[in-house]
Chains A and B, each alone.
Chain A
Amino acid sequence: MGLDYRPVLWNTHKKTYDKWIAIGMLIYLSGFVGITIALNPESTAETLIIRAFGTLSIALLHIILAIGPLARLHPNFLPLLYNRRHLGVSMFLAAFVHGAFSIIQFHTLGNVNAFYALFTSNMDYGSLINFPFQVLGFFALIILFLMAATSHDFWLKNLSPKIWKRLHMMVYFAYALVLLHVFLGALQQQPSFWSIGILSLGFIGIASLHLATGIKETKVDKQKAKIIEEGWEYVCSLEEIPEDRAKIFIVDKERVALFKYDGKLSAISNVCKHQGGPLGEGKVVDGCVTCPWHGYQYLPHNGQSPPPFTEKIATYRLKTIADKIYVDPKGLPEGTAVEPATF
């Protein structure tokens, strides 16, 4: 969490994460260039750069797209989610190098503007096989640029979380454009069994992860309260909730997290105000519910972030009968204080 907007709030985890991104990119680029030169010594520097950075950005995009569903399927992948935006920006930079060199190599040195040539050198928009694949790559790069440029929390707040999220979900459209850019471009000119196979497997893997996660989450969403007494829904018994942890349950299609801490019980919205992280999968640290994704915190009894922060989430009334816990499904306005149930 940051009160003042700084470019990066560095900490040990972020430095380690970024170090591994840089190392990984260097290893990939060196390996790609080395292998290409060994197999094809006549390759020019421009071709090497275009291909190395193009394939690197596609590989990074696959990793980025896999992180979200993997983190939902197993908590061991949460550390990858923590600084995913740095991975996204790195991927954009690699894609930008690929795009810039491609435009220079293929569309400058002529007598028309390079961008004009990009859109007019091939006008076969009615054909699939001869489709101007460069245009597909160009628009994918524009989307990735907009995402990289707005990756900071400053934009999350000022664009509004809703608009910011819609913008960043365009990564899926960019992914489709990138796949078609390759299949209708490079693979048409130089078909390669391995390239087709790797890209196809990559798509199958990513799509399978997302769909499997979607099916898993849908099953959770379909759960309904089994016992309802006088408007109160039964959640669980006291023993089911570990200390300083939560039980997540569904109320009116949305998820609610019931935390047990210091002999008290409080129920809050499961959705973090920052980027929608699952608060119920976090824990209570220093009296605050802490989001497992990026560490945003909320006081459990009123759903408010501790001062000076201003985020607020909805709260819910609770009651206990013996060791059974019941929740009032009508959520209270964000930031409303609720006396915790005691046991």
Chain B
Amino acid sequence: MTSDLRKTHKILWLILAMTIPILVVLSVLGIREQGLNDNGMSVKNSGDKKELVLENDLFTIYKDKKSVDHQLLVFLKKSLPSPAASVYAISSKGAKGMYLGELDKKGVYHFKIKGAIEGLQIYDEIKKEEITNVALQWD
């Protein structure tokens, strides 16, 4: 290696040694905060304003008591096996009913529903298969 190349290597690695740790630390800090906050509302304190209708490993789902049009607040805690999935209401007869919206990455989702529903069906439109069904408990 010539002296110029040695100098270039040193400069490059000094830059990497300074910038990469900063970006990595910021990204790791972001892991804890992202996805489970909706306008400052976390999973823990949502119960004060909403009615909890489901809690499991994948979802925490609240129903908004006060709104005229019912609204479901869905916290998706971890990624689904499918990159994008459709959400359908399950009717009283257990059949797939109204289309509510889409789920993709971990985060908070709002779905409008009409009245009480038996549950939700999460469906993979590409593979044409059901990912999961969740039953909701209403007071």
Q: Which residues of A contact B (CB under 8 A)?
A: 42, 44, 47, 105-106, 109, 128-130, 165, 169, 172, 175-176, 179-180, 183-184, 187-191, 196, 200, 203, 207, 210-211, 214, 217-218, 221, 253-255, 271, 276, 278
Q: Which residues of B contact A (CB under 8 A)?
A: 1-3, 5-6, 8-10, 12-14, 16-17, 19-21, 23-24, 26-28, 30-31, 33-34, 78-79, 81, 83, 105-106, 126
CB of A43 to closest CB in B, whole Å: 9
Q: Which of B9, B26, B79, B105 has the most C-beta atoms of chain A within 10 angstroms of its own C-beta?
A: B9
CB of A186 to closest CB in B, whole Å: 10
- What residues of chain A lie closer than 8 Å to B26, measured between beta carbons? 128-129
Please tell me if the beta carbons of B5 and A165 are within 8 angstroms of each other in the complex. yes
Listed A/B pairs (7) with beta-carbon separation below 8 Å: A172-B12, A179-B20, A188-B31, A190-B78, A211-B13, A271-B2, A276-B2
Task: Name B125's closest neighbour in chain A (CB-CB).
Answer: A109
Please tell me if the beta carbons of A106 and B83 are within 8 angstroms of each other in the complex. yes
Please tell me if the beta carbons of B34 and A129 are within 8 angstroms of each other in the complex. yes
Please tell me if the beta carbons of A169 and B17 are within 8 angstroms of each other in the complex. no
| Chain B interface mostly | helix
CB of B4 to closest CB in A, whole Å: 9
- What residues of chain A lie closer than 8 Å to B14, measured between beta carbons? 211
Task: Name A217's closest neighbour in chain B (CB-CB).
Answer: B6
- What residues of chain B lie closer than 8 Å to A211, measured between beta carbons? 10, 13-14, 17
- What residues of chain A lie closer than 8 Å to B106, measured between beta carbons? 189
| Chain A interface mostly | helix
Please tell me if the beta carbons of A183 and B81 are within 8 angstroms of each other in the complex. no
Please tell me if the beta carbons of A191 and B31 are within 8 angstroms of each other in the complex. yes
Also in contact, A169 and B126, with CB within 8 A (given A106-B83, A128-B27)? no
Query: Of B1, B2, B16, which one neighbours A172 at CB under 8 angstroms?
Result: B16
Query: Of B6, B13, B21, B105, which one neighbours A221 at CB under 8 angstroms?
Result: B6
Please tell me if the beta carbons of B81 and A128 are within 8 angstroms of each other in the complex. no
Task: Name A277's closest neighbour in chain B (CB-CB).
Answer: B1
Task: Name B8's closest neighbour in chain A (CB-CB).
Answer: A169
Please tell me if the beta carbons of A190 and B79 are within 8 angstroms of each other in the complex. yes
Please tell me if the beta carbons of B20 and A176 are within 8 angstroms of each other in the complex. yes
Please tell me if the beta carbons of A253 and B3 are within 8 angstroms of each other in the complex. yes
Please tell me if the beta carbons of B27 and A187 are within 8 angstroms of each other in the complex. yes
Task: Name B23's closest neighbour in chain A (CB-CB).
Answer: A180
Identify 13 new A-B residue pairs, CB closer than 8 A, beyond the known A129-B26, A211-B17, A255-B3.
A109-B126, A128-B30, A129-B27, A129-B34, A175-B16, A180-B20, A188-B30, A189-B79, A190-B79, A200-B24, A211-B13, A214-B13, A276-B2
Please tell me if the beta carbons of A214 and B6 are within 8 angstroms of each other in the complex. yes
- What residues of chain A lie closer than 8 Å to B9, measured between beta carbons? 169, 210, 214
- What residues of chain B lie closer than 8 Å to A180, measured between beta carbons? 20, 23, 27
- What residues of chain A lie closer than 8 Å to B10, measured between beta carbons? 211, 214, 218
Query: Of B5, B30, B78, B81, which one neighbours A129 at CB under 8 angstroms?
Result: B30
Task: Name B12's closest neighbour in chain A (CB-CB).
Answer: A172
- What residues of chain A lie closer than 8 Å to B17, measured between beta carbons? 207, 211
Please tell me if the beta carbons of B16 and A207 are within 8 angstroms of each other in the complex. yes
A105 and B33 alpha carbons, distance in the complex (Å): 28
Q: Which of A129, A196, A253, A278 has the most C-beta atoms of chain B within 10 angstroms of its own C-beta?
A: A129
Task: Name B105's closest neighbour in chain A (CB-CB).
Answer: A189
Also in contact, A196 and B13, with CB within 8 A (given A109-B126, A176-B20, A180-B23)? no
Please tell me if the beta carbons of A188 and B1 are within 8 angstroms of each other in the complex. no
Please tell me if the beta carbons of B12 and A169 are within 8 angstroms of each other in the complex. yes
CB of A149 to closest CB in B, whole Å: 22
CB of A160 to closest CB in B, whole Å: 14
A187 and B1 alpha carbons, distance in the complex (Å): 37
CB of A134 to closest CB in B, whole Å: 11
Query: Of A183, A189, A218, which one neighbours B27 at CB under 8 angstroms?
Result: A183
Task: Name A207's closest neighbour in chain B (CB-CB).
Answer: B17
A335 and B35 alpha carbons, distance in the complex (Å): 65
Please tell me if the beta carbons of B24 and A172 are within 8 angstroms of each other in the complex. no
A253 and B5 alpha carbons, distance in the complex (Å): 12
A169 and B8 alpha carbons, distance in the complex (Å): 10
- What residues of chain B lie closer than 8 Å to A42, measured between beta carbons? 81
A169 and B28 alpha carbons, distance in the complex (Å): 28
- What residues of chain A lie closer than 8 Å to B81, measured between beta carbons? 42, 44, 47
